[in-house]
Structure 1
């Protein structure tokens, strides 16, 4: 059993409050990429950070922001380690993070019932409530909440988002893909 000290809990909260550089509406805690904080001595800390995907360009900015925040809190030496196992998944996004994505105009990833590999079907690009299988919810428009949407591009402003359009209100929107 791993015990966490009061200082580690405090530093985890501080590092977790850092905004994601690509989605500043979310904190690193809400995105689920901040894994652990380990204090060693009185002013040395090691932080475990898991990128949303291997090679994520935002990892460097996240690292610098975490270092800045923790140094401002009195930590002399801050080491941020990139931890690839267990891999990050959209299941790691907190309910608060999902709510914030929706409010920001990005359709949050659908909640998966079964854990494990995510299937990549190359089927129809439109998702209408009647077209969706029982184990998968439709992608809802974050503007009007319609389930009648279509895929415009499998990639959007970042590799972890797809570009979709609502067939009812006709507004384009990002969809945070399930990973």
Structure 2
């Protein structure tokens, strides 16, 4: 299915499951940067929007709610990634010391809660999404291994084979090789050599 249709269905699903400020924030907050990340980075890597949550609400250490751009919680939710799309204007030029401190404290607290916070530069999404794709693949490949070892029917072409650089490809192959020695499953046979 094409991204535009899948994105619309995904967004509608999340809107239907929310009410009040959580719904209002999703209507107002899921904007151009988040959509560009999903279309130019996430979709080419995964081909779906499974386990992604837009404008995800968390409370800070003071009990105040705030919203993360996108949260990915695959499987049982023990592994949590927070993707924050950061434009130069709002996150650098239009900030002051107080907002800057609050942003850093917020990210530190998210780490305390178990989130792996990933800052995505808006300009890279617009100008060089391939760099962001490579970095996301390197970052997520160790966490995808828990899925890899449970089946040898995983479609590697959709998951890992579109790696744009030999270093990343070598990194993923080494993870697969080491893990296959422990499990007996040999998913690395699906790599094009």
TM-score where L is the length of structure 2: 0.28
> Where is the helix percentage greater, Structure 1 or Structure 2?
2
> Where is the strand percentage greater, Structure 1 or Structure 2?
1
